[in-house]
Structure 1
C-alpha cells in the first residue's frame, strides 16, 4: 500500500465517545456536578438557554438550590462548565483517534464521524450546542467554530504533506467548507439519523474532489459507506452520573 492509499477496512469509531473528563475531582463532587450538568444540558436542549429556568434544571437534577450554588454561581456559570466538560471530553476523543495511527484523511473522517455522533446522541453536546447558538453565549460559538476549523485545517495540512490531497486544494479553505457543510447539515437534518445520512452523502461528494485519485479510489472500495451508525443508547448511558 502506497502512502497515498488508505486501508480498505474502516477503522472502528470508538464507542462511547462521550466519556466524562472529570476524574480529577472527588467522587461525591463529581456525581453532583454530573447531575447538574446533565440536567442543564437536557433543559437547554428542550427550552434553549434563555428559556431555561434554574428551577427547571433543579427539578430535572433532583437537587436543591444549595447544591447548585455550592458548585455554580449562576446559570451562565453552569453553561460555561458544561461547555468546558464537552470540550475536555472531546480532547480525550481526539487523543483516542490519534492513537489509531491512521493517515490524516482517515483521521479526519473518524473525527468528523465522532463529532456528528456526539451531536446526534450525547445529551451534553446537544444541550450546549443549542445554548451557544443564542446571543447570550454567542462568543463561545464563535470560538468553538474557529477551533473546529483550525483543527480540521491542521489535519488537511498533514494530508497535503503526506501527498493525499488533490493538487490545488487549500487546507484552510477546505476546512472552512467542511465545517460549513457539517453545521448546515446539523441545521437542516430531520433528526439524528438524517444528520448521519446527510454527512455521509456530503463526504461522498467532497472526498473525490479533495483527495488524490489513488486515495479516493481506495476509499471508495473500502467498507466506509457501510460503517455502522452510532448506538444511541451507549452514548446516552455514557453520560449517566
Structure 2
C-alpha cells in the first residue's frame, strides 16, 4: 500500500515553546519554587552540577536557606525536580503536536525539532541536561534518555504500521540511531544555530534511507527546509517565574 501524501502548512511544522508544567496553585509558593529551579538550572548550565553550590543557587535566586529547604532537601533533589519539570513540560509539548493531525513520521520530525529547541533555549532543559553529565546523577540521566529513546521507537513503530518506513528499516534500531545522532549533534555543535543546522542535515541524510518514495516526495515539496528556527526570547519568557 502506498501511503498518501498530504500537503502541510508551515504552521504545522513549528516547534511548540515549552512552558511550566507545575501544578502549585498558590502563587507565592509557585514563584518561589520556580525561582529556585531557574537559579539551579542557570548555575548547572554554567558550572555543572558539581560546580554549583547551594549558596550560589540561593544567591542567584535571592532567597534564604529556609525557602530552599521548604521545597528541596538537597542539591540532588533540585536536580531531580528539574528533570521532573522537563518531563512534564515535554508531555504538554507532545500533546500539542499530537493535536495537529500529523502522520507518525511528521510527528517525529516536529517532536525532534522541539526537543532540540528546548536544548537550545529552554533554561530549565539546558540546566537539567548539563547537570546530568555528573556521575552522581547517572540514574536520572538514564531516566531521561531512556524515555526519549522509548518514545522515538514508539513513533517509528507507528510509522512502520502506517507504511511510512521502508520495509528493511527496524523501528527499534532506527529509533536508537535517531537519539544517538541528536545527542552527538548536541555534543559537537558550536552554539544553538549550529545544533539546529546539524539536525536538519542529519534528517536529510536519514529520511532518504528510512522513508518510502511517496512520503519523501511530500517531504521534499513541504516547507520543512525553510521552517523558522526557535525564538530564544519566547523560550526565556515562557520560563519567567
Task: Name 2:229's counterpart in structure 1.
Answer: 229
Contact 1:166–1:212 (Cα < 8 Å) also in 2: yes
Number of aligned residue pairs: 239
What displacement does 1:9 show? 3.1
> Does 2:87 match 1:87?
yes
Task: Name 2:47's counterpart in structure 1.
Answer: 47
Contact 2:40–2:127 (Cα < 8 Å) also in 1: yes
What displacement does 1:12 show? 3.6
Distance (whole Å) between structure 1 residues aligned to residue 99 and residue 73 of structure 2: 38
Q: Provide TM-score, normalisation by structure 2.
A: 0.96
Contact 2:119–2:125 (Cα < 8 Å) also in 1: yes
Alignment of 1:62-77 (within 5 A): 62-77=62-77
What displacement does 1:144 show? 1.2
Distance (whole Å) between structure 2 residues aligned to residue 113 and residue 240 of structure 1: 22
145-154 or 109-118, which deviates more: 145-154
170-179 or 216-225, which deviates more: 216-225
Assess, with a 3 A threshold, how the Cα gap between structure 1 residues 177 and 216 changes in structure 2: closer, same or farther: same
Alignment of 1:190-201 (within 5 A): 190-201=190-201
Distance (whole Å) between structure 2 residues aligned to residue 152 and residue 216 of structure 1: 19
Alignment of 1:1-241 (within 5 A): 3-10=3-10, 11-15=12-16, 17-241=17-241
What displacement does 1:8 show? 4.1
**Which stretches in structure 2 are left out of the alignment for 5+ residues?**
none
Distance (whole Å) between structure 2 residues aligned to residue 141 and residue 5 of structure 1: 38
Contact 1:4–1:164 (Cα < 8 Å) also in 2: no
Distance (whole Å) between structure 1 residues aligned to residue 32 and residue 142 of structure 2: 30
Distance (whole Å) between structure 2 residues aligned to residue 71 and residue 120 of structure 1: 27
Deviations 1:83-110 (A, max 9, x none): 1111100001101111111100110001
Assess, with a 3 A threshold, how the Cα gap between structure 1 residues 82 and 38 changes in structure 2: closer, same or farther: same
Contact 2:15–2:113 (Cα < 8 Å) also in 1: no
Q: Provide TM-score, normalisation by structure 1.
A: 0.96
What displacement does 1:133 show? 1.3
What displacement does 1:3 show? 3.5
| SS of structure 1 residue aligned to 2:190 | coil
Deviations 1:150-204 (A, max 9, x none): 1111111111111111111000000000000000000000000000000000000
Deviations 1:2-32 (A, max 9, x none): 73424243414254x2210013432111000
**Which stretches in structure 1 are left out of the alignment for 5+ residues?**
none
Large movers: runs of 4+ above 3 Å = none
Cα-Cα RMSD: 1.2
